[in-house]
Amino acid sequence: MEIKKVELDAKKEFFIEAEQEKYETSNGISCNYTPFCFVAKNDDEIAGAVSGASFFSEIYIDELVVKDEYRGKGIGTQLIRAVEECFSGKGFTNINLCTNGFQASDFYERCGFELEFTRENKSDPRLNKYYYIKYLG
């Protein structure tokens, strides 16, 4: 058997998703992977956005970005609330996210996220990874 690095294209992505779904189904699990994106707009300008996906019984926030000139005005908090409101009461148990040391750990804690664990980067603490969770209820 030959193993080599290749580009991820639609055919390979389809293979991965189909095989993963088959395995989940054989174990009585439904992934129900559904991506989402919320944007904050000021007139026609995008001021911020949050994206991620829901799957299994969890929500995962992949990216949260607010333009420099809009930071500190509550837009990030509003985007987090939009995610919470969208998925609350729909069978999801928690929201997960990961941020780096140079990013917004304090912000997520102010939004009610709890630090679950830290993965230390031995060469650059700015690249430490902080894993957060917020339980929906």
pLDDT attached to residue 137: 79
Contact present, 115 and 132 (Cβ < 8 Å)? yes
Average pLDDT for residues 107-122, to the nearest whole number?
A: 95
- Residues 6 or more apart in contact with residue 18 via CB below 8 angstroms: none
CATH class as words, domain 30-135: alpha beta
Average pLDDT for residues 47-58, to the nearest whole number?
A: 95
For the chain, the 3-state helix, strand and coil shares in percent, each to the nearest 5, are: 30, 35, 35
3-state secondary structure of 50: strand
Average pLDDT for residues 113-118, to the nearest whole number?
A: 96
pLDDT attached to residue 30: 84
Check pLDDT > 90 for residue 104: no
pLDDT attached to residue 5: 94
Q: Phi, psi at residue 18, to the nearest 5°? A: -65, -45
Residue whose entry in the numeric block shows the structure tokens 């729909």: 90
pLDDT attached to residue 102: 85
Check pLDDT > 90 for residue 60: yes
Q: From the CB of residue 63, how many other CB atoms can be counted at a distance below 10 Å?
A: 10
pLDDT attached to residue 32: 84
Residues 25, 32: Cα–Cα separation, whole Å: 11
pLDDT attached to residue 109: 94
3-state secondary structure of 93: coil
Check pLDDT > 90 for residue 110: yes
Q: From the CB of residue 130, how many other CB atoms can be counted at a distance below 10 Å?
A: 20
Average pLDDT for residues 27-31, to the nearest whole number?
A: 88
Check pLDDT > 90 for residue 105: no
Single-letter residue type at 42: N
